[in-house]
Structure 1
Amino acid sequence: MNDTITQHLIRQLHRSPWRLAAVVTGGGSEALSQLLSVPGASDTVLEALVPYSSPSLEDFLRYKPTHYCSRATAQAMAMRAFFRARDLEKRNSRHELDDTHLIGVGCSASLRSLRPKKGQHRVHIAVQTAQVSSLASLVLTKDSRDREREENVVAALILNRIADATGISDRIPLDLLHGEHVDESSVTAWPSWTELMLGQRNVACGIEAEQNVSLDAFSGVLFPGAFNPLHEGHQRMAELAGQITGHPVDFEISIENVDKPPLDFFDIQSRVRQFEPPQRCWLTRAPTFLEKTKIFPEATFVVGADTIMRIAEPRYYHHSVEQRDAALEELRQQNCRFVVFPRVVKEQFLSLEDLTLPAVLAERCEAVPRSEFRMDISSTELRSGA
């Protein structure tokens, strides 16, 4: 590591208007130490966390990741860190919040330890700003460095990624071995994505040419989902729902999840690219149906039997039947309706007729007959390669 270059880079960062929150696990703590050891760190670092154990990382993310060292986990860490930076700066600053100079950094690493690792030595670093999501991944040649040298590589890579995000031109030379290569990628947000993420709007059209189209263009029929990925089952549901309602079906993706951090710009881009005109996909900040109805009043929602069951379950309303009933009554007052498709639920193929729903919800539902639709494909299975 070149200390002069490292310190010069960090001094430039400390003199800049950028403020950051950084979270590292499995490796990367050396970068935090270097950031804090150069005078002026209080002008830059809002928070530096090392949730090293699995339970600690789960507490920070507020969910259990599928893989602890992965691109997706680093992305989630960076997004959570960005919103931590935003919250801390809002409380810390006497001036108006400057979202354009906040950074969230997430580093998920698996480095050399006392016990030999079965898998690769690797690191994934995500950086999140209000305009850009970026990723850098590196597989380290196994057993070719001691832990200190691996930490130094990771620290340099983290600081270089921060420099890239903040427009600092200096770069720390990386101690890479023959055959090692840093895989870097980034996505720059459309203005409407940034506004949506920052809460400056609650809905945007996911088609680039129509990103500022008004809700007057809403068809009246909405198919909410993660669409990760969109598959032929979704397309067939939309086709049938269009025939049943007599209206084209619009899709909707909430960038917010009840438990997980918001989707970053990589995720938003990959999902909206699946839709092509005349299909329309709306992006919202509405993870619950009650929130969706406030954006799309009097909508007819396209759902599966599993989804309508969840809408009726008290456990999604803090285990309160009273809160559930109040929410269902509000759905009724918003005059929303549901077209319910059969779905495999816990190895049973269930249609609306098989379900016991509260009367106020059941009367808002129209069943799609078993004879009209059965596709057991799921996005989860497609992602897992099943």
Structure 2
Amino acid sequence: MNDTITHHLIRQLHRSPWRMTAVVTGGGSEALSQLLSVPGASDTVLEAIIPYSAASLEDFLHFKPTHYCSRATAQAMAMRSFFRARELQSRISPTDIDDMHLVGIGCSASLRSLRPKKGEHRVHIAVQTATSSSIASLVLTKDTRDRGREENVVAALLLNRLADATGISDRIPLDLLPGERVDETAAVAWPSWTELMLGQRYAACVPRALEENTTGDFRGVLFPGAFNPLHEGHVRMAEIAEKLTGHPVDFEISIENVDKPPLDFFSIQSRARQFDGPLRCWLTRAPTFLEKSKIFPEATFVVGADTIVRIAEPRYYDDSPQLRDAALEEFRQQNCRFLVFPRVVDEDFQAFEDLTLPPALANLCQPVPASEFRMDISSSEIRSGGK
């Protein structure tokens, strides 16, 4: 019965306008086999990858995950898969790319093996489209199924998640045992988030009431950061920056990282919720200050001492002092400046006068004295539970 339902679901998928890239870490490969065994797969599957070793997964993600089998890793796999699907589809149909019918799948699983596992048998399946991020997690009761039965459960769950994302109503019954439960959650993008992710706009504003704002509404002072989370140190810096410049401060988060996939809609949603009332934030795809300066010319950037030092380092410019100097000259031409706050770095308190900067950069900086601001707090310490 399940085979009939599975084949019917896959046939519907192959007849649909959806195109997909799927990446699974070994566990979940049965779903790929089923997808490819039904005629019509070439109309649906752009690529199927199995990065079985840790090194292979790191190559695919372009970074080393903290945990290889986790929700975060599956989400990063799905986002990278989505952009891989865009790349492949653009080469197949350069003038007819349908971003709204592309899907990226990331499946991170730890299933039964020859050697007993110390941890749980579990799977995380993330699905990324242009309008939503979703993830389903399942912990399998240990030592109750052989590897084949565990693979069948994962395959059914993966195909069901794909059906859900593509609007197919059929579902494959899951062979769940008493006490097993699939934990599913999704984040739906605002229209501006989708446009930003697809490169159709340079910036999107939060909170929701300001979604239609354009960069023409920028107020002159920009505080870039990850804000994961936003904390009292950030708020205090913004208050001081407003006092010193006479302008309200806008925050900025780049959804794109130099090394990692763009933030998915779960991450964007959780960070966007932090900005309300008088606070507002620009979402961009500008991971470098040079890219930010092109979106926000004449901006005064609020930065810490550690950040201004990084802006001066040639290693961020392909190890080229000449490229670094050209970037500094572009900051000058864009009439951008830096309001530099003191910062504790590796237990060492650094104020502006302690730094060695190229004159071209130092001339663009306005230091905030230590007497005005000192707060030894960081987002990473908050995430790790540090005090």
* TM-score interval (norm. to shorter): over 0.9
- Deviation digits for residues 261-312 of structure 1 (CA, Å, limit 9, x no counterpart): 1111111110010011211101111110000011100100000111101100
- How far off is 1:67 after superposition? 1.0
Distance 1:181 1:21 in 2: 27
Are 2:142 and 1:145 aligned?
no
The aligned residue for residue 301 of structure 1 is 301
One-letter code aligned to 1:326: A
Distance 1:381 1:154 in 2: 36
The aligned residue for residue 331 of structure 2 is 331
Are 2:188 and 1:188 aligned?
yes
Superposition misfits of 4+ residues, deviation over 4 angstroms: none
The aligned residue for residue 159 of structure 1 is 159
- Deviation digits for residues 7-39 of structure 1 (CA, Å, limit 9, x no counterpart): 110000001110000000141110101000111
* Equivalent residues, number: 386
The aligned residue for residue 375 of structure 1 is 375
The aligned residue for residue 111 of structure 1 is 111
Identity %: 78
Structure 2: which 5+ residue stretches go unaligned? Answer: none
Distance 1:94 1:275 in 2: 38
Query: 1:177-256 counterparts in 2 under 5 A?
Result: 177-256=177-256
Distance 2:373 2:123 in 1: 44
The aligned residue for residue 282 of structure 1 is 282
Are 2:169 and 1:172 aligned?
no
Distance 2:19 2:7 in 1: 17
Are 2:141 and 1:135 aligned?
no
The range that moved more, 188-197 or 209-218, is 209-218
Are 2:86 and 1:82 aligned?
no
- How far off is 1:237 after superposition? 0.8
The aligned residue for residue 96 of structure 2 is 96
One-letter code aligned to 1:142: K
Are 2:343 and 1:343 aligned?
yes
Q: Residue 291 of structure 1: SS of its match in structure 2? A: helix
TM-score by length of 2: 0.98
Q: Residue 66 of structure 1: SS of its match in structure 2? A: coil
Distance 2:51 2:206 in 1: 35
- How far off is 1:224 after superposition? 0.3
- Deviation digits for residues 24-75 of structure 1 (CA, Å, limit 9, x no counterpart): 0141110101000111100000000001111110100001111111111111
Distance 1:162 1:291 in 2: 36
TM-score by length of 1: 0.98
Q: Residue 187 of structure 2: SS of its match in structure 1? A: strand
One-letter code aligned to 2:378: S
On the 8 A contact 2:203/2:214 being kept in 1, the answer is: no
RMSD: 1.0
Distance 1:284 1:96 in 2: 26
Structure 1: which 5+ residue stretches go unaligned? Answer: none
